[in-house]
Amino acid sequence: MKLRLAAALALSAPTLIASGYDKVDPFIGTGGEGHTFPGAVAPFGMVQLSPDTDTGCQIRDCYSHAAGYRYDDPTIQGFSHTHFSGAGHSDLGDFLVMPVSGDAVPLEPGDPKVPESGYRSRFNHADEVAQPGYYAVTLADAGVRAEMTAGTRVGVHRYAFPAGKAAHLVLDLRSSLYNYPGKILWSSLRLHADGTLTGTRQTRGWAPDRQLFFAIRFSAPLTGHAFVSTEKDVTYKGFQGPGRGSDALAERAGRALVARLDFGQLSQPLEVKVALSSVDEAGALANLDSEAGGFDQIRAATRQAWTQALGAVDLQAPAPMAKSLYTALYHSLLAPSVAGDADGRFRGPDNQVHRADGYTFRSTFSLWDTFRAEHPLLALVQPQQTTSEIVRSLIDSRRYSPDGILPVWQFQGRETWTMIGYHAVPVIADAYLKGIRGFDADAALDAMVASATYAPYGGLGEYQRLGYVPIDREPEAASKTVEYAYDDWTIARMARAMGRIDVAKQFEARAGNWRNSFDPKTGFVRARLASGAFRTPFNPTAINYGSDYTEGNAWQYSWFVPQDQEALFRTMGGDKAAVAKLDAMFDYDNSKLDYSHAEDIAGLIGQYIHGNEPSHHVAYLYDHAGAPWRTQARLTQIVASQYKPTPDGLSGNDDLGQMSAWLFFTGLGFYPVTPGSLQYAIGRPFVERAVLNLPDGKRFTVVADGMAPGNDYVGQVALKGRPLTRSYITHDEIMAGGELRFVMQKLPNKRWGTARSARPYSMSSARE
């Protein structure tokens, strides 16, 4: 009896330490504007194996399917291996696989409105399961139970086909996300003698020239196959190889390929193990072999990895908040994802293959978003290996960049030139200043300086000459000027810490350039012409492409001086004026404004736009004006209105973890307003208790006494048992371990944190 029980336990999943694993809900953000995906992925995994509900988008409506899956859609088109988590523009959806049962195997996806018109299938959310590293659904039309799991560089499908029906897979190389006509430049399929299937696809999408390779092994032998080209208008087809007139070729290449793979009737579920590589097919094959085991083994290993990664924090909070926060942590641990092969090779910005020297190359850098809170969060919960590898990847990306500069928006090693700034710079500086090592700091500083002085990029030539980006030479000039000035300040900070005083002085001077874009008359950051005049007409509420601003207007961008909010507030007329202007922003009557023409403008509170990044630090700025209780009130307002533990629970694109990292920090009661300052502005916690399990065994605990509905203000704060009268804590204080204790109350404490010396970092008043 006892023996039988032990055997039964051994067959079940390995016993796990309790953690946030079960509280994560990957469906959060898969509806609304979140653009997250529900499928299977390992922490920072190269493979994101997830259902695509519709890839048939055309131009404008692609946006809604940026992550392939849309919660409201009635059908699943298939399961593809690459997805961004929360991107505002998109690509990927590589190598779509769909099971089909029975004799008829459609090779077109069909119309979602016409059931059984193609290989797509209806499904019910009741039949779905999504966990970190695991996704399952029943495909109603095919009668197939589909399960997905993923390792670092592999994805494993498991399909239980209905008894008595032939099992098939469709592998559709024509399917892709943001699949504009002409996107698929080339693709190929090759069946090896041992039954392994390899292939490649070259696409012209967001990355204008991207190659991805795959290798697939099946748990059952193929009984037949067809590699079909549906391309029309091929002027010259060359000579025919073996299998003339047949689709049962050993290989096929073309611009529109779809494969039918037959397995006959199966007595066991079919497992399909897929590895990817940006390098070559040999890389994909080696990646396939580098992670041992089948579905259950990969799933268990990834579950273990997630349990460990999510164990960075132990949370005690109301169930909906715990769900939101653990899911936020989960979403923040997806990118920058592994982009290099198991053997160290990777494809760089020059589209050539290089070898990472003793580390794993990572990509998916959405830096305009993620320099704010996502990278500071990683520097806290994954400081050494992950952050060090990120910095090494950035340095190597610059080394192999045709322009000799750091990444802007890169994935799979390929640059997209999306958004503005050189925000790899604050990521590196923040990591270095936090004591994270394992990279060549001199090479890093060289790369940062090179990126900040490369004249052909984003008006940097004029910026260096004039002290601002002129709007008659370069669009979105106001946003660029203020963001460059902040990035410059982080270069100065790192250079000073390295003793490179010449560089520090040069960039400290540039850090004040935001002043050149501030208009004291209107009180807004605005764009100047090369002549020096501000561009007119000026409408602080207008949001347009090619305007003075990037995805925003003067209201959001006038707060972007994280290196020197104190000086900004002075130019605005002092703290009181700043507070009044902040209030005016949040309380703005936007009922008559229509921003539906602009992507990424979602989550409005007046002119505060939580769904997009320029606003993310703004609620904390009351701290800088000596009014932390206003920060607390605004955070209460934002968290209540912008996050829900439901599919439509993110008010904007998650942006590769930035929206989630904002919530995670905010939930714990502090936020990195100024990466590079080594400080976190204190807000208000949304947890009863949180223990950060720091890498060296230390623990930093946040406790909120009196946490209850309505107790939305901080009465007092204590650090390690001593009263904390300032509205910030430092990175060192967290890393040293200890307890940060809040007392929550119904009414604001309007005196706490008001003293000038109590406010977070500003370079004007910094004494270091």
Applying CB under 8 A, which residues contact a copy of itself? 59, 178, 180-183, 185-186, 188, 190-193, 202, 204-209, 233-244, 246, 248, 250-251, 253, 280-282, 350-353, 402-405, 409, 415-418, 454, 456-458, 474
- Backbone dihedral angles phi then psi of residue 389, each to the nearest 5 degrees: -65, -35
336-368: buried (b, 16+ CB within 10 Å) or exposed (e) per residue? bbbbbbbeebbbbbbbebbebeebbbbbbbbbb
Minimum Å distance from CB 475 to a copy of itself? 9
Nearer to a copy of itself, 418 or 725 (CB): 418
End-to-end Cα spacing for the chain: 69
What HEC string does 529-559 produce?
CCCCCECCCCCCCCCCCCCCCCCCCHHHHCC
Nearer to a copy of itself, 183 or 515 (CB): 183
**Contact 345/285 with Cβ under 8 angstroms?**
no
Nearer to a copy of itself, 207 or 381 (CB): 207
Nearer to a copy of itself, 132 or 340 (CB): 340
Minimum Å distance from CB 658 to a copy of itself? 19
Minimum Å distance from CB 192 to a copy of itself? 8
681: its two tokens = 């502005």
Minimum Å distance from CB 32 to a copy of itself? 25
Nearer to a copy of itself, 191 or 703 (CB): 191
Minimum Å distance from CB 27 to a copy of itself? 30
On the 0-12 / 13-18 / 19+ scale of CB atoms within 10 A, 129 is: exposed
Nearer to a copy of itself, 415 or 564 (CB): 415
Minimum Å distance from CB 729 to a copy of itself? 38
Q: Which residues contact 219 (CB under 8 A, 6 or more apart)?
A: 268, 269, 270, 271, 272, 273, 294
Nearer to a copy of itself, 164 or 181 (CB): 181
Minimum Å distance from CB 352 to a copy of itself? 5
Distance CA 573, CA 362 (A): 45
Nearer to a copy of itself, 160 or 353 (CB): 353
**Contact 101/165 with Cβ under 8 angstroms?**
yes
Nearer to a copy of itself, 63 or 417 (CB): 417
**Contact 66/637 with Cβ under 8 angstroms?**
no
Minimum Å distance from CB 98 to a copy of itself? 25
Strand-strand pairing, 409-411 and 414-415: antiparallel
CA 696 to chain centre: 27
Nearer to a copy of itself, 210 or 303 (CB): 210
Nearer to a copy of itself, 192 or 689 (CB): 192
Minimum Å distance from CB 273 to a copy of itself? 20
The full length of the chain comes to 768
Nearer to a copy of itself, 405 or 604 (CB): 405
Nearer to a copy of itself, 246 or 544 (CB): 246
Give 695-700's long-range contacts (Cβ < 8 A, gap of 24+).
Answer: 695/383, 695/384, 698/735, 698/736, 698/737, 699/737, 700/734, 700/735, 700/736, 700/737, 700/738, 700/739, 700/740
Minimum Å distance from CB 250 to a copy of itself? 4
Q: Please name which of 475, 450, 476 lies closest in space to residue 464, comparing C-alpha atoms.
A: 450
Minimum Å distance from CB 227 to a copy of itself? 11
Q: Please name which of 18, 22, 70, 24 lies closest in space to residue 660, comparing C-alpha atoms.
A: 24
Single-letter amino acid code for the residue at 381: V
Minimum Å distance from CB 445 to a copy of itself? 19
SS3 16: coil
**Contact 484/510 with Cβ under 8 angstroms?**
yes
Minimum Å distance from CB 423 to a copy of itself? 15
Minimum Å distance from CB 89 to a copy of itself? 8
Nearer to a copy of itself, 473 or 689 (CB): 473
Q: CA-based diameter of the chain, in Å?
A: 89
| Residue 197 host element (H or E) | strand 197-203
746-756: buried (b, 16+ CB within 10 Å) or exposed (e) per residue? eebbeebbbee
Single-letter amino acid code for the residue at 653: N
Query: In the chain, how many H helices and how many E strands?
Result: 19, 38
Nearer to a copy of itself, 57 or 609 (CB): 57
Nearer to a copy of itself, 371 or 409 (CB): 409
Minimum Å distance from CB 533 to a copy of itself? 23
Q: Which residues contact 315 (CB under 8 A, 6 or more apart)?
A: 20, 23, 322, 325, 326, 667, 687, 689, 690
Minimum Å distance from CB 403 to a copy of itself? 5
Say if residue 221 is preceded by a cis peptide, omega within 30 of 0: no
Minimum Å distance from CB 66 to a copy of itself? 14
- Angle of helix 385-399 versus helix 374-381 axis, rounded to 10: 130
Say if residue 537 is preceded by a cis peptide, omega within 30 of 0: yes
Q: Which residues contact 134 (CB under 8 A, 6 or more apart)?
A: 40, 147, 148, 149, 299, 302, 303
Nearer to a copy of itself, 172 or 415 (CB): 415
Distance CA 482, CA 480 (A): 6
Residue 51 bridge partners (DSSP): 79
653: its two tokens = 């694109």
